[in-house]
Amino acid sequence: MSKVGNAVRSLLAAGGVIACLPATAEAAEGASAGLTEVVVSAQRTQESLQDVPVSVTALSAEDLARRQVTNTLDVISQVPNLVGSTNVGLGSATAFFLRGVGQDESLSTSDPAVGTYVDGVYVARQINNNAFLYDVERIEVLRGPQGTLYGRNTSGGAVKIITKKPERETSGYVDLAYGDYERTEAKAMFNAPLSDSLAVRLNAFWMDQGEGFIKNLTTGEEDWAPEGVGARAQVRWQPSDAVDFTLAVEWADEEGTGFIGSDANRNTDRDFFTVVSGLRDQFAETDQVAVTLNGTFTLGGVSVESVTGWRDLNQRFLLDLSDDPVPQYVLPHDSNHKQLSQEFTFSGEVGALDWVGGVFYMQEENRSEIGDELFLFGGVVAANFRRRLLNDTDSWGVFAQGTWNFTDRLAATVGGRYTEEKKDVDITQFFVAPPLGARQPGGSGYPGRTGTLVPLWNTTAIRANGTPSDVTFSEFTPKFGLEFAQTDSLLWFASYTEGFKSGGWNARVTDPADFVLFRPETVKSYEVGVKSQWVDDRLRANVTVFRADYDDFIITALNQQGRFVTVNAAEARIEGLEAEVLFRATPQLDLFANLGTMDGEYLSLVGADFPLSNEIKRTPDLSWQIGFDLDIPAPALGGEFFSTATYSHQDEYYNGLRNAPVELAPATDLLDFTLGYAPEDGRWQVAASCKNCTDEQYFHSTLNFGQLGFATQFPGLPRTWRLSFRYNFGAL
């Protein structure tokens, strides 16, 4: 706990500095008003952020705009102990690691440990969760296991995206932007009432990046040049104050999100944006349709919320994982993912008891065609494999949580959830025999080389090896909490929570012996925290100390044959501290900061190819962010200038289990800055901004194929600048 103690001392020292600021601020003419109240739905009901005994970060629409949060990847630096990156080679996928727990594997037989929700609908696949954010009301990030109210696959936490809903007034905007790498963006929104009880909200976006971040010296092509188009239509029905339903239909089509990593053995000058891959026409593309029906109404004294969601996602890509003029490992992929979910949540009050409960059901169907095109050691080992993978999931759960208010200041919470899920898998492995046809990077269908498909093995073979092809997992996850409101502005809380991440199959294999089942990963989490507001509600400081003990910790390790296998191989403990501070120094100046520390260790290992003393991957000792929002009145111009700056630091961390030198992601320091102007009436605004303003080059992930002679490292984004103009019409 020494690192936590040091972090606490640092935080107290920073707090002492902040405590000295109010005297200066008060002396300024016209002391600022208090901070705006933030409302969140972290406990499935609408509550003030400062009244919720849960570790949660909330980012409003204004926060997202001023801090240049345009996709879920940008959220990472805004949240203590949230580590993440694009998944290897896939700019459409964000691999979230929260408090050291996450998922690198994107195949549908493995589930993430951090759940993503859009308007209450759980998004099962992380392959397209790096969504282009537009017309978003707020984002909430719940840190730590959320097994009671949110269920499976939230052992690390949950990321909730809430979009803006139709309103009973006519309004809209057009937002245009041009930036570095010839990137052009356009967003538009139109909101209008159709009657006293009906309103509609229409959104659309378009983006196109003419130049790629990655330059390929061998083919002359450019990669990682995203482009996309999408739309969302919502209709809201509010016949009374007690009834509120919104139907939303959304479509998005994105491509150009694939990119090539660089081989660390060749890239000695650390230029991560120049590669020599000989694979032409590399690409990644996704398209999806989503339909959501959200409704709230009351039955007597009971509030009812219904969330219905249906999603259909297609993904295709063709990537070289070796960065070699003669590609050694090419990965073609074509998949379809459908899911249907329904949830009912009930809440109310009975005397001193506040309660919430509900039921949940989800059905998921995944269909994938996956290739492994190998040309290793100069062609000594050459083969073309193709895998047809079908897997389905049926999951249901029932949950309840009650808070007993002993007094106006003291309350205790008890809750629990029972989850049961059934999974099945069917697989057929083929050898693609020559003569081989051309790859199909464009159009539709499987993008890899085609030929005569020779069956090698199938589901019968994995059953013969003792691996079941259909399983049922069930888990009960309780929660106990205690909260004490020392004053109206000072809340202490402590909790014990359990959660779990679903089991599955190790499916990225060519040998049936490696197609093994792994069990669910479970966690027991302990938290103590405080939420506070000071100085006439102008200073907000929230701090949490946590410890999480994991059983059946899921890792991907090399087996005795030198192949990667995902297994339950560890017990682990991760502990740390999280702090968030917001201070309104003057009416025109807000200062904000967050801090996270992590200290993780393996308690036991079984069958792993690395020592117990290794660090848990993606657990930097320290990360922090500081920043400001500044408004500068310009009376002579009839408006004001506005500016936001953030400076984020993250310590180095290993992104691989073996802690090899090529897996040590460097410490990063990133500066983002925005300067803009808006007239007093707010009808329009213009802004100039940059991300990674100092153009720091770094990598965040490594595919370490040391035994094959290459280790591919994948970079973070380079410096980009952007000019934007927005015009608002109708009601503001």
Question: Which of 596, 693, 592 shows the shortest CA–CA distance to 649?
Answer: 596
**Which two three-digit tokens encode residue 94?**
């964000």
What would the 3-class secondary structure string for 312-378 be?
EEEEEEEEECCCCCCCCEEEEEEEEEEEEEEEEEEEEEECCEEEEEEEEEEEEEEEEEEEEEEEEHH
Q: Give me the CATH number covering residue 310.
A: 2.40.170.20
Pairing of strands 274-275, 214-216: parallel
Question: Which of 9, 145, 147, 113 shows the shortest CA–CA distance to 597?
Answer: 9
* Confidence (pLDDT) at 551: 94
Are 497 and 479 spatial neighbours (Cβ–Cβ below 8 Å)?
yes
At 622-649, the pLDDT tens digits run 999 999 999 999 999 999 999 999 999 9
**Which two three-digit tokens encode residue 141?**
């990030």
Please report, for residues 355, 515, 527, the alpha-carbon distance to residue 492 in angstroms, rounded to integers and kept in the order given: 20, 47, 11
**Which two three-digit tokens encode residue 681?**
């009436």
Please state, rounded to an integer, the average pLDDT across all residues of the chain: 91
Are 505 and 518 spatial neighbours (Cβ–Cβ below 8 Å)?
yes
Range 326-346 average pLDDT: 96
CA 24 vs. chain centroid, Å, equals 39
How many CA atoms, within 13 angstroms, populate the side-chain half-sphere of residue 104?
22
Are 722 and 690 spatial neighbours (Cβ–Cβ below 8 Å)?
yes
Range 187-192 average pLDDT: 98
The rounded distance, in Å, linking the Cα atoms of 634 and 289 is 45
Q: By residue range, what is the domain housing residue 687?
A: 2-730
Burial class (CB within 10 angstroms; exposed 0-12, middle 13-18, buried 19+) of 483: buried
Helix (H) or strand (E) segment spanning residue 19: helix 2-27
Place of tokens 């059905």: 363
At 143-173, the pLDDT tens digits run 999 999 999 899 999 999 999 999 999 999 9
The rounded distance, in Å, linking the Cα atoms of 600 and 468 is 33
* Confidence (pLDDT) at 21: 41
Q: Phi-psi bin for 592: left (phi > 0), alpha (psi -120 to 50), beta?
A: beta
* Confidence (pLDDT) at 607: 73
Please report, for residues 104, 150, 260, 614, the alpha-carbon distance to residue 604 in angstroms, rounded to integers and kept in the order given: 22, 29, 36, 11
The rounded distance, in Å, linking the Cα atoms of 284 and 319 is 8
The rounded distance, in Å, linking the Cα atoms of 645 and 629 is 7
Q: Where are the alpha helices (DSSP H) in 42-107?
A: 61-66
SS3 605: strand
Range 228-242 average pLDDT: 96
Are 358 and 331 spatial neighbours (Cβ–Cβ below 8 Å)?
no
The rounded distance, in Å, linking the Cα atoms of 407 and 149 is 25
Pairing of strands 302-320, 283-299: antiparallel
At 433-460, the pLDDT tens digits run 998 888 988 888 999 999 999 999 999 9
Number of domains the chain contains: 1
* Max mean pLDDT range (19-23, 212-216, 261-265): 212-216
Strand order in the sheet with 82-87: 82-87, 90-98, 101-102
| Cis ω for the linkage preceding 435 (within 30 of 0) | yes
User: Does residue 23 surpass a pLDDT of 60?
Assistant: no
Range 566-589 average pLDDT: 94
* Confidence (pLDDT) at 20: 43
Range 266-291 average pLDDT: 90
**Which two three-digit tokens encode residue 473?**
């997992």
